Amino acid sequence: MTYLTSLHLLRLVRTALLPLAALILSACSDPAPAPPEATSAVLQGNQLRYAAGNPQLALLTVVDVKPSTAVAIDLPARLTWNESRTQRIFPAFAGRVTAIRADVGQTVKAGAVLAQMASPDFGQAQADAARASVDAQLTQKSLARQKELLTAGVIARKDFEQAEADAARAQTEVARAQARTRLYGGATGVNQQLGLVSSINGIVVERNLNPGQELRPDQSGVGVPAPFVVSDPTSLWVQIDARERDVGSLKVGSHFDLIVPSLPNEKFTGKVLTSSDAIDPTTRTIKVRGEVANPDRRLKAEMLASARLERHLGGGLVIPASAVVLRGTQHTVYVQSGPGIFEPREVRLSYQDSKQAVVSRGLEAGDKVVSENVLLLARQFALSQETSESKEVPFAQAKASPAKASEKAGDTAKKP
């Protein structure tokens, strides 16, 4: 009875321990292999090869290399008023603004009064004109008397000639004083009313004064806003900042396209008027002035734009500037020599800007170069090279170990 009981207990223990042992064995065994990764790029010689379907291939945009006939160059430009059709009106005398007759956007004719001022200084000029007129009348009467006395033989001829000269001088003074007052819009008499007058036909594009404001002639010059600016906006100037190498394409009389970001669907053509003879020391650019027609007044002064012109480089191949990377001091592009096969190639550039580059050596027409995500491809090249070098080192060590073992055996055999 005791023997049977012990056998039964042994069976129960074994039954309970079997699942526990299986659990321990499963925990100690190696983990299940991870799912296979996507095939990586492989470096073979100087070529990086991608397997078909590699997701990186969708990120690499390839373009064809084309011969260069002319390169489109965009230069920064700014629109300003055409100064040959613009007048900045300043007061000729000190005074206070009493009335404003024109405002921004108003069309005015030559001779139109834009504002009225009360000016004691201008009143003094009017008084001088009136005084000169009175003096001229007095000298004319004196001249008439002197003529009668000369006829009667009472005075000498030299006295008559002196009276003639005085009358002529007085008349000249009248003409001068009246011309001065007419120049600034003054009427006859002394009223101290000075008008700010436009001398050209145009549109009031700026107004920088208010009623009651005091104005003085010394408040004028560079950096001081004019009380009124009248301009003809149907023609604008284009101020272009050109690099030294681009000046040859901006000769006087040449044409360019004006690209305005705020008006993307419209095309404007400008003409070069003049070019500076000095380089701006701050920006290292040459100031070029152009003119653009603006009959619909779509263009506005102080708009930022780009002046696009064509530059003939005399040969070479054109590729996007994004396709070129700098490795040390050498420019490099990545050429697709087959489906999923890329290789770096050193090139020499004859021209490069932010959009395109002209290759003078290193490529041929019809080659395909990577133009987007080039840095990603360059990084993959570097990683593949590091991986290849790390595999070569253990192989070299393993190849050298049998030789070392034979040397050891030889040394042991030489020992007595």
Tell me the per-residue pLDDT of 365-384, one tens digit each, with 9 for 90 and over.
889 999 998 888 888 888 88
281-293: buried (b, 16+ CB within 10 Å) or exposed (e) per residue? eeeebbbbbbbbe
The answer to whether the CB of 231 falls within 8 A of the CB of 79 is: no
Share the mean pLDDT of the chain.
Answer: 82
pLDDT band at 385 (very low <50, low <70, confident <90, very high): confident
Please spell the DSSP secondary structure of 227-278, one letter per residue: SEEEE-TTEEEEEEEE-GGGGGGS-TT-EEEEE-TTSTT--EEEEEEEEEEE
Q: Residue holding tokens 């697709």?
A: 336
> Residue 356 has what pLDDT?
83
Residues of the chain with CATH 1.10.287.470: 120-191
In tens, the pLDDT along 320-349 reads 899 999 888 889 999 998 888 999 999 998
Question: What's the residue count for the chain?
Answer: 416
Residues of the chain with CATH 2.40.30.170: 73-84+232-311
> Which one of 2.40.420.20, 3.40.190.90, 1.20.120.550, 3.40.50.1820 gives the CATH number of domain 49-70+316-381?
2.40.420.20
> Residue 51 has what pLDDT?
87
pLDDT band at 63 (very low <50, low <70, confident <90, very high): very high
- Using a cut of 0.85, tell me whether the model's pTM lies above it: no
Residue 413 has pLDDT above 70, yes or no: no
Q: What is the CATH number of domain 73-84+232-311?
A: 2.40.30.170
Phi-psi group of 301: left, alpha or beta (phi > 0 → left; psi -120 to 50 → alpha; rest → beta): beta
In tens, the pLDDT along 131-184 reads 888 889 999 999 898 888 888 888 888 888 898 999 999 999 988 888 888 877
Residue 394 has pLDDT above 70, yes or no: no
Phi-psi group of 192: left, alpha or beta (phi > 0 → left; psi -120 to 50 → alpha; rest → beta): left
Residue 118 has pLDDT above 50, yes or no: yes
Which residue type does 228 have?
A: F
Q: Which DSSP letter does residue 300 get?
A: -
Q: Which two tokens stand for residue 402?
A: 């049998």
Q: Which DSSP letter does residue 200 get?
A: S
> Residue 33 has what pLDDT?
47
From residue 147, give the alpha-carbon distance in Å to each of 151, 153, 154, 169, 181.
6, 10, 10, 17, 33
Q: Which residue has the higher pLDDT, 282 or 236?
A: 236
Residue 73 has pLDDT above 90, yes or no: no
Question: Which among 360, 354, 348, 353 is positioned nearest to 313, based on CA atoms?
Answer: 360
Residues of the chain with CATH 2.40.420.20: 49-70+316-381
Residue 48 has pLDDT above 60, yes or no: yes
Q: Which DSSP letter does residue 315 get?
A: S
> Residue 107 has what pLDDT?
95
Point out the least confidently predicted range of 56-60, 97-101, 105-109, 309-313: 309-313
Distance CA 412, CA 416 (A): 9
Residue 283 has pLDDT above 80, yes or no: yes
The answer to whether the CB of 56 falls within 8 A of the CB of 41 is: yes
H or E element, residue 385: helix 374-414
From residue 406, give the alpha-carbon distance in Å to each of 393, 399, 410, 414.
21, 13, 6, 12
Please spell the DSSP secondary structure of 271-293, one letter per residue: EEEEEEEEE-TTT--EEEEEEEE
| Other C-beta atoms lying within 10 Å of the C-beta of residue 82 | 20
In tens, the pLDDT along 199-247 reads 999 999 999 999 999 998 888 777 789 999 999 999 999 999 998 888 8
Q: What is the CATH number of domain 120-191?
A: 1.10.287.470
